[in-house]
Homo-oligomer: A and B are copies of this chain.
C-alpha cells in the first residue's frame, strides 16, 4: 500500500511568503518520493496574536465562540496560501478547514477536544492525487460552529488526523533539529536523540521541554503513531518518538530538563483538622489550576504546613483560592516563592535500575544545591531547587549520567 505521511508546520515555518514557498517545495519532495501527503498548518507568524489584540480592543471580555470564529481565520489563510504555493509548482493541492476535513470536536469553544475525524473527504482528495492541506488547531462542533482546541492545538490536530488516516508517520516540523538530551542552549554538549519513547517524551514535555505538547504525545501513544520531530530548515533526521523496545541498549537516563516557570505556594500552620487538604485541592481544581508537586509537613502542636507548586500563569489565582481556605480554616498565613526551578531526569531505563534518584540527589548535593521538594514517577525524578542553580544542576546531571557520549 502507498505510504501516507502527515506533516505539521508551525507558525514560524510558514511565517512569510518565502517560507511558505520553502514548505511547498519540501511537501512536494515528499509527495514525489511516492507517498500521499497531508499537511497540517498553524497560522502565519504572529497572526494569531494580532487578531487577539484586535479582539481585545473591541471587547476585552470577549466570548470564546467569537474568539474561535476570529482566530480560526489565521490557519485558513496559511492553508490556502500553502495550497496555492504548491499549485504554483505544478502539483495538485487543496486546502481544507478543520470542519471540511471532518475534524469534529466537543461543543466547548476555545478548548474543545477532538471527538472524531470523519476522514472521507481527505481520503477522496488524496485518491484524486492531491496534496491535502488542513488548518491546524480547529474543528467544528455538533452545531456546525467553528471551535479551536486550545494549547498545543496544531500538533494535536496533526496527530489525531494521522491516527484517523492510519498514517505511517506524523512529521512535526519545528525550529529545532529534534529532541536533545537537554537544552543545547544551556549545555552545549547536549546530544540529539535518535529515538525516544512516548513515556519519556511525555515526561520531558511535562517538565518544560517545549517541543511537543503533552496532549499530542498522549494521543500519539494511544494510537501507537510514530512521530518524527525535525527541523523545517534542513534535511537532517530528527528524533523519532515511538514505542521503544526494552531490548534496545539504552542509557538509564535519556534526558535532563529544567523548568523555571515554577512557583511554590505555602499555607502555614493549618489547624490539624481532617479534610483541609482535600478542600484546598478541590477548590484549586475547580478554579482550573493545575497543581504539580505537593508536600505536607506536620509540626507537633502547631498544625501542618502544606506547600504545592503551580505554573507562573496560575499563581495569582492560586494564592487567592488558598487565602480563602486559610481564612476558613484558621491557618496562619499564605506565602509564595517564585525564585524556583524544577530540574528533572527522565528515562525508561530507570525502571529496573535501582538508585537513580539517589544518584541524582548525590550529584546535586556535591554541587552544594539544596533540594526543596521532590517528586518522582516510574521514569522521572524531579527536584525543586533555587532558580539560580538551575544551569549548574542541569550541566552536572547531564555529565554525571553520561549523556554527552
Contact = CB atoms under 8 A, between A and B. Distances in A.
Contacts of A63: 84, 87
Given A81-B70, A87-B66, A54 B95 contact: no
Contacts of A65: 94
A88 interface: yes
B51 A88 contact: no
B88 A66 contact: no
A140 to B, nearest CB: 9
Contact of A17 (B54, B94, B100): B54
A88 B69 contact: no
Contacts of A144: 99-100, 121
Interface string A317-335: 0000000000000000000
B70 A58 contact: no
A42 interface: no
A69 B76 contact: yes
Interface in A131-165: 144-146
| Size category of the binding interface on chain A | 35 or more
A310 to B, nearest CB: 30
A88 B59 CA distance: 5
Nearest to A77: B73
A95 to B, nearest CB: 5
A55 interface: yes
Tell me the interface secondary structure of chain A in the complex: helix
Contacts of A69: 76, 79-80, 83, 95, 97
Interface string A203-228: 00000000000000000000000000
Given A66-B80, A77-B70, A87-B63, A58 B94 contact: no
Contact of A54 (B21, B58, B70, B81): B81
A44 to B, nearest CB: 9
A226 B232 CA distance: 56
A353 interface: no
A156 B58 CA distance: 27
A302 to B, nearest CB: 50
A70 B59 contact: no
Interface of A: 17, 20-21, 51, 54-55, 57-63, 65-67, 69-70, 72-73, 76-77, 79-81, 83-85, 87-88, 94-95, 97, 99-100, 121, 144-146
14 contacts: A17-B58, A51-B77, A55-B80, A55-B81, A58-B81, A58-B85, A58-B88, A63-B84, A66-B87, A69-B76, A70-B77, A73-B73, A97-B146, A100-B144
